Amino acid sequence: MKATATSTSAPPLAPGGAPLLGHVVPLLRHPLAFMDSLRRHGPVVRIMLGRIPVFVVTDAGLTHEMLTAQASSFGKGGRLIEALSRFAGNGLATVADGDLHRTQRRLVQPMFSRAFIAGRGDTMIEVARSVVDGWAAGEPRELHDDMQELTLSVFLAALLGTEPPEATRRRIQRVLPDVMAGTIRATILPPWLGSVPTPTQRRQRDSFTELRDAIGDLVDEHRRPLRDKGLLDLLLDARDPDTGQPMSRRQLEDEVITFVTTNGQASTATVLWALHEIGRHPAVRDRIVAELDEVAPGRPLVGADLGSLTYTRRVVHEAMRLYGPAWLLTRTVTAPASLGGFDLPQGATVVFSPYILHRDPVVYPDPAAFDPDRWSPERARSIPRTAFQPFGGGARQCVGESFAWSEMVIILAETTRRWRMVPDPAVVPRPVPRVTIHPHRLVMTPSGTGR
């Protein structure tokens, strides 16, 4: 269906705006609560970022329509994409729709094929196991840094085909928090306020530069002989089918930066929340361990086992529904459009939030409850396909979705099998929205084994 401007009205304006700033204050102070409140005001709601109108789609069906049937009128873009482009350049997640996107997707897609990822499963598992085995029993851990190390190590191992250099991993990990915090600030703040040269802005710009330098060094190191094959080799060897040309050095760096930031942050957040919920629900942990013992009795997990970890995958599925991986995604209206009976002008930014869609009580009974069995084959049939969109949809659906699923299942399985993670009752993690939703202060203690 092609978008047309035949609707009858403009979307309603959300309450709570302020002169000059619009809805910036509630978005900065209580972003998740504010976004969730918009569902009460209709399927499409207008908010103001300064004097700039932004349209928020709160209905899953309309979101799916926007991403598929009306995709030609809603291009990849908007304030989040502009912010990501500041450090990721023209990576696959940020490049505009059109010939360049189609070319890049053809070049990148083979590195995320199920067959290629399956061939890297053993390496990913070995790296995850090595990191988790290094934790000390009885020592409380603030898990954010641990899990960021773990997801980054697993991803870099798949990228390089071998365990990544420790110094490079630390270098990338050190700057990621500032990079991601700067991205969401640039998305929410009005342009005039976001351009003020504060110490925070300067630190974030320095972090952007350091991240690109680290990725460039990683590519240079990987070009040396006597190294194993990894996902990066597919990028180095890729050729445009029309021109026969390889990726430029800049394009190669853009793609790797995109993968490290978007995939890594999503996996980190999802596994952190899964561990938090497992700590609150010991029966869930027991079922994961029982499944692992059934699938890999008396032996280490291997890549070929991943498809059999159906309950572990449900746990990841439910953590992803509740907490991510992205809480805010944007599109740009490329032609005057109608969505849900409302006019949307060309050039406008449209926002949709998986956080809102995944907590709709009409679709998900008791939506705040952690219930992995809602994804059992029998119960999942009642959930519309359009109501679960953690990786987007349509032609712009995340190309790394299969890799992300494998990585998260591996990390959760290895952590749970090795350790019984005991939560600190004095510390209740608070959701902190960046590009993904991270728990603030998730403290858990490895105790004994998962059995």
Which contacts of 53-56 are long-range, i.e. CB under 8 A and separated by 24 or more positions? Answer: 53/348, 54/79, 54/348, 54/349, 54/350, 54/351, 55/11, 55/342, 55/344, 55/348, 55/349, 55/350, 55/351, 56/14, 56/350, 56/351, 56/352, 56/353
User: 384, 363 in Cβ contact below 8 A?
Assistant: yes
Q: Is 198 annotated as a binding residue?
A: no
User: 36, 322 in Cβ contact below 8 A?
Assistant: no
Residue of 170, 166, 179 whose CA lies nearest to 145: 170
* Both structure tokens of 266: 């999503």
Torsion angle of C-alpha atoms 443, 445, 446, 448, degrees rounded to 10? -160
Determine the 3-state secondary structure of 74 from DSSP: strand
DSSP state of 56: E
User: 349, 330 in Cβ contact below 8 A?
Assistant: yes
CA distance 376 to 399: 25
Residue 56: strand pairing partners: 45, 351
User: 361, 334 in Cβ contact below 8 A?
Assistant: no
- Do strands 52-57 and 349-352 pair parallel, antiparallel, or not at all (unpaired)? parallel
Number of Cβ within 10 Å of residue 319's Cβ equals: 25
CA distance 294 to 312: 12
* Both structure tokens of 227: 């190294």
Task: Specify the DSSP element, H or E, that contains 443.
Answer: strand 443-447
CA distance 414 to 131: 10
138, with CB counted inside 10 A (0-12, 13-18, 19+), is exposed
CA distances from 273 to 127, 268, 270, 287, 353 (A): 21, 9, 5, 17, 18
272, with CB counted inside 10 A (0-12, 13-18, 19+), is buried
**Known binding site: residues?**
398
**Known binding site for heme: residues?**
398
